[in-house]
């Protein structure tokens, strides 16, 4: 049996793509999912599911208590019109990880957060400003913690099959497209690579024609419900 990984935001999107890779190589994966979430993507996979909501601190703590985990992946996102878990959920995850002694965390954020504000177009800021602010605060909680963190910031995201040409870069001016399957691979690669600890990367795919993130794929920050 491989590592024991706890995942938040794993019912679809990037989190689900990472889970597929982890399960395929023999890791033991536990996913926290809401009672009303679509779990069809998880059904073919040999994963444990802890029912709960990332917006409920007690639920998050219970998820960490389910096993002695090696690492945690935070791929939380949301949709417009819903209460987003980006900040509150991340705070609970970091607090619970520290309390449980789980030191390793890989977090999916978004281009525009933190020191990458200038990488996002003015048009994107009009739509995504509040979301980016939440992700900035969430990043601050992670980087200010005692955890061994790696943060990945994707730009526009698509759902096409993996190209295998996606990269991560510490050039925080980079803004481009990436498919979720490729981002999931980068998440797993970072999880395995201790040299990425303490670093924030932008995730992009040079093999995809660059288009504005609001015209191709889903908007920045879209992801599984809490």
| pLDDT tops 60 at residue 140 | yes
The answer to whether residues 226 and 196 touch, using CB atoms and an 8 Å cutoff, is no
pLDDT at 23: 97
Place 222 in a pLDDT band, splitting at 50, 70 and 90.
very low
What is the per-residue pLDDT across 83-138, written as a single tens digit (0 to 9) for each? 899 999 999 999 999 999 999 999 999 999 999 999 999 999 998 999 999 999 99
pLDDT at 209: 61
Average pLDDT score over the chain: 92
pLDDT at 15: 97
Task: For residue 73, give the nearest of 100, 108, 44 by alpha carbon.
Answer: 108
102's enclosing H/E stretch is: none
| pLDDT tops 60 at residue 28 | yes
Place 2 in a pLDDT band, splitting at 50, 70 and 90.
confident
CA distance 154 to 118: 14
For residue 117, count CB atoms less than 10 angstroms from its CB and return exposed for 0-12, middle for 13-18, buried for 19 or more. Answer: middle
Signed CA dihedral, 106, 107, 112, 117: sign only:
negative
Place 79 in a pLDDT band, splitting at 50, 70 and 90.
confident
Place 220 in a pLDDT band, splitting at 50, 70 and 90.
low
CA distance 15 to 46: 15
Mean pLDDT of 196-204: 98
The answer to whether residues 115 and 172 touch, using CB atoms and an 8 Å cutoff, is yes
């Amino acid at each position: 049996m491989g590592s024991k990984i706890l995942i938040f935001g794993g019912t679809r999107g990037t989190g689900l793509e990472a889970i597929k890779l982890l399960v395929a190589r023999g890791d033991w994966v536990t996913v926290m999912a809401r009672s009303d979430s679509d779990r069809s993507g998880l059904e073919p996979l040999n994963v444990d599911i802890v029912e709960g909501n990332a917006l409920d601190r007690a639920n998050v703590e219970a998820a960490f208590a389910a096993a002695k985990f090696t690492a945690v992946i935070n791929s939380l996102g949301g949709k417009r019109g819903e209460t987003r878990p980006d900040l509150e959920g991340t705070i609970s995850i970091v607090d619970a990880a520290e309390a449980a002694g789980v030191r390793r965390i890989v977090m999916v954020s978004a281009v525009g957060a933190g020191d990458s504000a200038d990488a996002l177009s003015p048009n994107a800021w009009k739509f995504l400003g509040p979301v980016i602010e939440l992700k900035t605060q969430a990043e601050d909680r992670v980087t200010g913690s005692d955890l061994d963190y790696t943060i990945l910031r994707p730009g526009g995201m698509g759902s096409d099959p993996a190209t295998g040409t996606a990269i991560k870069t510490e050039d925080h001016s980079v803004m481009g497209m990436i498919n979720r399957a490729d981002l999931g691979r980068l998440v797993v690669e970072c999880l395995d690579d201790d040299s990425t600890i303490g670093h924030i990367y932008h995730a992009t795919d040079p093999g995809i024609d660059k288009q504005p993130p609001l015209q191709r794929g889903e908007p920045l920050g879209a992801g599984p419900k809490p």
